[in-house]
Every structure is written in C-alpha cells, then in structure tokens.
Chains A and B, each alone.
Chain A
C-alpha cells in the first residue's frame, strides 16, 4: 500500500523568509513523488515531480523539493517566500511497480505568507 503524510495543517512564514512544507511517504517499492498547489477557488496545478536521478528537483514559481530516501521525505522548499505563494499545497505519491494504481494525495498544508 502507498500513503503520504503532511504533518502540518498550516505553515506561516514572513515574506522574504525561506519556507518549507513537509511531506513523508510510504511505498513498498520506489516512489514517484509530486507536489501540487491549489489557489482559492481553483483546481490543483502541478508544481514538480521526482522520479529518479538528482535528489533536488526544481519546479515552477521558484519552488524546489528534496528527495530523501533514508527519511522517506520529499519536503517542498523556496528560498524567499512571496505573499502570492499563499495557497494549499498537496504532496502525492505512487509506487513505481504498482501498475495503473492512481496517485495518493496527502491532506494538504495551507501556507500563509505574511507581508
């Protein structure tokens, strides 16, 4: 079975400060890992994904995520937060060897960037 956890419901950060949104996962094999962002009254938008290779993945809007196999984590980061980054962020996982099994999403973390 595959699962993903986002341990923080809410993250608050001051504009200009670095931000981290945490994600841990569980799969039986190797993971596909994803981050999506949801702005108010909108559908989710793809930010970035990790499949294999470099543990640091760069994505849209200046976001990046670091894959850590030993800690089974895939935390989302940005060096300098903007007020416009305020949104709901979802981590998702899928096991490589699971055929057509769909992505499993975490419960989401609400990021609030304060000016």
Chain B
C-alpha cells in the first residue's frame, strides 16, 4: 500500500519557469490538499479538494493552480515560479473532508532561483 506519493522529491527552478508537483493516493480518499511549510510559519494550506471535480482555495493560493479530474490525483501547478515559492510542499489526503486523520506524502523540496 503506497499511501500518498509525491513527485519529484527535489526540484530547482528558475524564476518564471512553470512546473507541476504530482500527488497521488491509492486509498480512495475523497479529500486531498496541498500545504507549504516554511520556517517559523508552520503549515499553510494552498488548495484543497473534497472530491473529484471540486477544488477550493486555502490560505495562500496565489501563484498556484490545482485540478482534480480523478479521485487519485491532485497535481499542483506553479504557473510562473517566484523565489517566494521556495518551500517544502506536502500533499495530504483523508477518507472524507470531515475525517481529519490526514495522511501526508514525504514532501517536495522546491528552490526557485
């Protein structure tokens, strides 16, 4: 059972480049979310989804897009990377939106130069 899988683990981008962080879960979870973790800031929610075809903004959505075409996948797109987006990104999922035992991926460390 793979759980929540994030790729890549590390990425370096130049300012202005775009990229997609991948997240997949094999637990048939309805709820999926993306967080960024910065020193002294804790975890901040970027976007979340309560089911296929439904997405919503979190605390810090600017500069990021998401889509949820399947239950399993929830990719996070950086449209035009900025140094302020240098961070560690975590994808998390749970069975239902109201069941908050979140399962986290191992993270993607992103550096934007």
The complex places the Cα of A32 from the Cα of B94 at a distance, in Å, of: 15
List residues of B (79-110) whose CB comes within 8 Å of A's CBs: 90, 92, 97-98, 100-107
- Chain A nearest CB: distance from B106 CB in Å? 5
A92 touches B106 (CB 8 A): no
A46 touches B106 (CB 8 A): no
- Chain B nearest CB: distance from A3 CB in Å? 11
Asked if A52 is at the interface (CB within 8 A of a chain B CB), the reply is no
Asked if A105 is at the interface (CB within 8 A of a chain B CB), the reply is yes
Q: Contacts A42-B106, A43-B106, A102-B48 known; A90 to B42 CB distance under 8 Å?
A: yes
B40 touches A107 (CB 8 A): yes
The complex places the Cα of A9 from the Cα of B90 at a distance, in Å, of: 21
Q: Contacts A43-B106, A102-B48, A107-B40 known; A92 to B97 CB distance under 8 Å?
A: no
Question: Contacts of B106 on A, CB cut-off 8 Å?
Answer: 41-43
**Dominant SS among interface residues on chain B:** strand
Question: Contacts of A43 on B, CB cut-off 8 Å?
Answer: 4, 90, 92, 104-107
Question: Contacts of A32 on B, CB cut-off 8 Å?
Answer: 100
B100 touches A100 (CB 8 A): no
- Chain B nearest CB: distance from A104 CB in Å? 8
Asked if B19 is at the interface (CB within 8 A of a chain A CB), the reply is no
The complex places the Cα of A44 from the Cα of B93 at a distance, in Å, of: 12
- Chain A nearest CB: distance from B84 CB in Å? 18
Q: How does the 8 Å CB contact mask read for B34-77 relative to A, with 1 for contact and 0 for none? A: 01000011110100101000001010000000000000000000
